Structure 1
Amino acid sequence: MLESNFYMSALNLTNRRALVVGAGNVALEKIEGLLACNASVRVVAPEALDEVSDLAASGSLEWRRRRYRSSDWDGCWLAIAATADTETNIRVFEDGEARQKLVNVVDVPPLCSFILPAIVRTGPIAIAISTAGASPALAKRMKGEIGALFGRDYAELATLLNEERGWAKRELPGYRDRKVFFESIVAGAPDPIQLLRQGDRDGVRGLITRAKRRAWAEARAGQTPREQRESTGKGFVSLVGAGPGDPGLLTVAGSRRLSRADVIIYDRL
């Protein structure tokens, strides 16, 4: 049985040097990903694709046009080995381990202190998909399906929410107040994602404005939305179902209502 023991995280590579050993098609993919994250890239390879040499000529990366040496690690924070030479790949891994650095040998999980998941990236949203090295093909399929599900509308909502972070920090004193504020928008009614899919950006801004007014008043009164509902006796009921079918047919909206519920009454058909 496969088990994933990897600790999933996101790395800030801005102004950090990354070493890439190899300059073929696989290496180019890794190089482009590193540059997109503002890493300083050092490439070591006797020969390179035209795309890699063009990047070097433009000053986008450093290219050491020779075979790998242990000293290529100097000043580097992590390394990716993407060569067809097993001996070189092993040397890169062992040198990195000796320096207590992060190393990834492409498609060789035993020679990796970190792995590179498939990434769905839309605006500020990045979703990582990992199969712990078991099946990159499956990760690729999942990337396509997840990318289709969480598209530009989610990225646009993330951008709008980010614009309110400054206000929330100034006006809402506690972490819980800010958490409730943002959740009231994301899980609000009408659904902000549906509004964006309909092109109603003003509708989302109106939803945010109303949430700000409520959050500000509740923070001053020392009440959360739930406490306010309990004090007024007002609430709401949602009927959620998937018919007689599989629970997997439950809609996204239905799942969202279940996650917000204080009480759930279940009746098996």
Structure 2
Amino acid sequence: MRYYPVSLDINCRACVVVGGGAVAIRKVNSLLKAGALVTVITPEAAKGLIALAIKGKINLIKRGYKKGDLKGAYLVVSATGEQATNKAVFEEAKKRNALINVVDAPDLCTFIVPSVVDKGSLTIAVSTSGKSPLFAKALREELEKKFGREYAVFTELLGAVRSKLLKEGLDYDKKERVINRLIKSPVLGFLKRGDTCAVEKFLNVIFGKGVTLKKLGVSVKGKA
């Protein structure tokens, strides 16, 4: 294993993306989804970036990268396609101890980004350690077919049940038994076919009458 897999909390963290093309847009959108405070530096910005700036979602600086632009950045992505610029961005990020990813240049990275299946709180990451991003993408597309919206809902349900059990003060062994019972139950299948009544009946078997998805704070609505 070449890289240590880790999930970063970048919520409200300053992140800088250098570059303004299609790749930069993808990187920006994924950073925003994780709650980052994003600044984009590029002399020419794609329409998608301009739209995000107009909405106040990003800070867009329409010029080329300059030394000093990375002050205060926690994480940096360089997607310029220009070797000299990418190298300069890498060197500054390294000096500032900021995490740095230069697209398509593993030697200029302190982290690489896996291909991700995103189903709400369930995240499945696929990495080839930079050997073949296209293969990682192909694997991710296969996983997307297998893991539907029901997995996102089921993950939220498990989290809600865990919180309920913690509030009730159950010891670890009892809590583990209840959660394992739910994991091994037909509930995931019920969710896949949209049978919320069956889900709630099963929950009532475990917890007693009156337990509903709504009371647990679990929504079955959303995109697949």
State how 1:66-85 maps to structure 2 within 5 Å: 66-85=63-82
Name which of 187, 191, 197 aligns with 1:196. Answer: 191
Name which of 7, 19, 23 aligns with 2:20. Answer: 23
1:105 and 1:180 map into 2 onto residues whose CA distance is 45
Cα offset, 1:205, TM superposition: 2.2
Name which of 104, 116, 139 aligns with 2:101. Answer: 104
Per-residue CA deviations over 1:196-236 (Å, capped at 9, x if unaligned) read: 223222222222332346xxxxxxxxxxxxxxxxxxxxxxx
- Partner SS for 2:174: helix
Residue in 1 aligned with 2:154?
A: 157
- Partner SS for 1:56: helix
Runs of 4+ in structure 1 deviating by more than 3 angstroms, as ranges, are: none
TM-score calculated relative to the size of structure 1: 0.73
RMSD of aligned Cα (Å): 1.6
> Is the CA contact (8 Å cut-off) linking 2:75 and 2:98 kept in structure 1?
yes
State how 1:111-260 maps to structure 2 within 5 Å: 111-188=108-185, 191-212=186-207
Residue in 1 aligned with 2:91?
A: 94
Tell me the percent identity.
34
Q: Which has the higher contact order (CA 8 A, sep 6+)?
A: 2
Structure 1 unaligned blocks of 5 or more: 214-269
Change (3 A) 1:92 1:176: farther
Change (3 A) 1:98 1:195: same
- Partner SS for 2:57: coil
Cα offset, 1:168, TM superposition: 0.6
> Is the CA contact (8 Å cut-off) linking 1:42 and 1:62 kept in structure 2?
yes
2:180 and 2:52 map into 1 onto residues whose CA distance is 43
Structure 2 unaligned blocks of 5 or more: 209-224
Per-residue CA deviations over 1:154-193 (Å, capped at 9, x if unaligned) read: 11212222222332102243333322221110112xx222
Q: Could you say which structure has the larger radius of gyration?
A: 1
Q: In the alignment, residue 84 of structure 1 is paired with which amino acid?
A: G
TM-score calculated relative to the size of structure 2: 0.87
Cα offset, 1:86, TM superposition: 0.4
1:34 and 1:25 map into 2 onto residues whose CA distance is 14
Per-residue CA deviations over 1:209-267 (Å, capped at 9, x if unaligned) read: 32346xxxxxxxxxxxxxxxxxxxxxxxxxxxxxxxxxxxxxxxxxxxxxxxxxxxxxx
- Partner SS for 1:70: coil
> Is the CA contact (8 Å cut-off) linking 1:82 and 1:105 kept in structure 2?
yes
Per-residue CA deviations over 1:53-108 (Å, capped at 9, x if unaligned) read: 22222221111221112211112111000011101111111111111110000111
